[in-house]
Structure 1
């Protein structure tokens, strides 16, 4: 089982980040010096992914433009001697083989994933949600790929969350297999504390077998009246083997304002161009607030 393909669902309306996302895709909001989605694609590439499908909608052509060549800009940068900027502009276009398909109606995450069927074919594939940026020594997607390949199974990325927060996620029913890896036998979408199976919540990363597509074709609308991926995964884990990986790393939900700002500050503190200035700025602000 070799995972070479990935799907990035990026067709959401970005309602948690309005009004900025009225005309700018949330995935294209700049986080320090790169758009959010570039960090996600870089994680996929670092995990051995070769081909990436981005599921978009009619308002998100900016992503297609960004991961393309821009000859006029590149010529101007070359003439101005801005070689570093030229390298970065070109690098974004050369990260991977990137393809696009539109989700013509907003029917939920499960429906968005179903749009990838022709792209995936009969291969296992990774799913990286377009809101979630992961910071880890070993890419989180790679952690899932290795577990999926070892067990010949689908894999979901999980971490423990507080009981009062579980209603924002999918809770999984697990049994231990080895350190940080569990077998999965059930799950539910956005449960109450009384309904949850465990405090382990699925957080934005998956490796799935193509069996999921037949299941999604027959899934009825669930939570919010949408085709929920969790409902399809629930049936998948009951038909075939699935593991949960308690991944090592930090997750940022950049689909909401606080998560976006938190990620921006943390990444800016690690960026050579901004780290020194930002530390001084934050210290100054902290002093003013005393």
Structure 2
């Protein structure tokens, strides 16, 4: 299979920020300060470090602070979405930007801290480019208490594709059952553009949002190869989407 260059990234950043109110009544969640810069800038710098310079941020049309902050960054363009339809809905808005290419999705509340984050992302991209697979997901072990708020993955090490990537056998958004040793996505996905057609057929959840996880699950259940790639040991995935995670991230990024 010929390798195709992956040059585009999508960052869903148009969410409600409900769990971070009242802060997000005044500033959107991706623009919350983390060290000396907003959360979103840390993620964009990670992408640029991996050689990705064509980045679409899906934002609310009235998020003027975000628009103004990145207006001079030629790598960043905005696609507006006021539908509050969840990450899957935001990704669907980028179909004409992505066109027929493979692309990266990084969530706007999941910064990585540690050395080599862009090198890890490059490896994630390489796994997708070099393998005949439909997607590669960053994955990491989580505490059992986190299972109810994560996209939890399952895999069988005996069915590993190669030394780096592990074939996923399932992915479930906020599962009711807790695995013995739970692993979850680290909110970095390298995907085929066929995900758009699958998202269009995917049902919205109980809160009216379209999630990415059920679409990826459908790909797995259809027999497509989706690989998980464990987060490098020196990297920590932070969650700035809730107060506890945000305060933990503030301490970790204090001088960044």
Whether TM-score is above 0.5 comes out as yes
Query: Tell me, which stretches of 5 or more residues in structure 1 are unaligned?
Result: 70-92, 272-290
The residue aligned with 2:153 is: 172
> Which one is further off, 104-113 or 36-45?
104-113
Q: How does 1:250-261 map to 2 (within 5 A)?
A: 250-261=236-247
Say whether the 8 Å CA contact 2:113–2:252 is kept in structure 1. Answer: no
CA distance in 2, matches of 1:148, 1:193: 30
Pair member with larger Rg: 1
> Which one is further off, 30-39 or 164-173?
164-173
The residue aligned with 2:13 is: 10
CA distance in 2, matches of 1:216, 1:36: 27
Shift of 1:170: 1.5
What RMSD in Å do the two structures reach over aligned CA positions? 1.9
Matched, 1:126 2:104: yes
The residue aligned with 1:212 is: 195
User: Could you list the per-position Cα deviations for residues 115-162 of structure 1 after superposition, in whole angstroms to 9, with x for gaps in the alignment?
Assistant: 110000011100110001002332243232122123232111111112
> Which one is further off, 111-120 or 153-162?
153-162
Shift of 1:197: 9.4
CA distance in 1, matches of 2:70, 2:61: 17
SS in 2 for 1:48: coil
- The partner residue of 1:149 within 112, 125, 129 is 129
CA distance in 2, matches of 1:44, 1:256: 23
Say whether the 8 Å CA contact 1:222–1:231 is kept in structure 2. Answer: no
Say whether the 8 Å CA contact 1:23–1:59 is kept in structure 2. Answer: no
Say whether the 8 Å CA contact 1:158–1:247 is kept in structure 2. Answer: yes
Query: Tell me, which stretches of 5 or more residues in structure 2 are unaligned?
Result: none
* Aligned length, in residue pairs: 244
Question: Which structure is higher in helix share?
Answer: 1
SS in 2 for 1:155: strand
TM-score normalised to structure 1 length: 0.78
CA distance in 1, matches of 2:183, 2:102: 24
Say whether the 8 Å CA contact 2:31–2:38 is kept in structure 1. Answer: yes
Shift of 1:163: 2.7
SS in 2 for 1:55: strand
TM-score normalised to structure 2 length: 0.88
CA distance in 1, matches of 2:16, 2:62: 9
Say whether the 8 Å CA contact 2:113–2:253 is kept in structure 1. Answer: no
User: Could you list the per-position Cα deviations for residues 250-271 of structure 1 after superposition, in whole angstroms to 9, with x for gaps in the alignment?
Assistant: 0111122222222222222x45
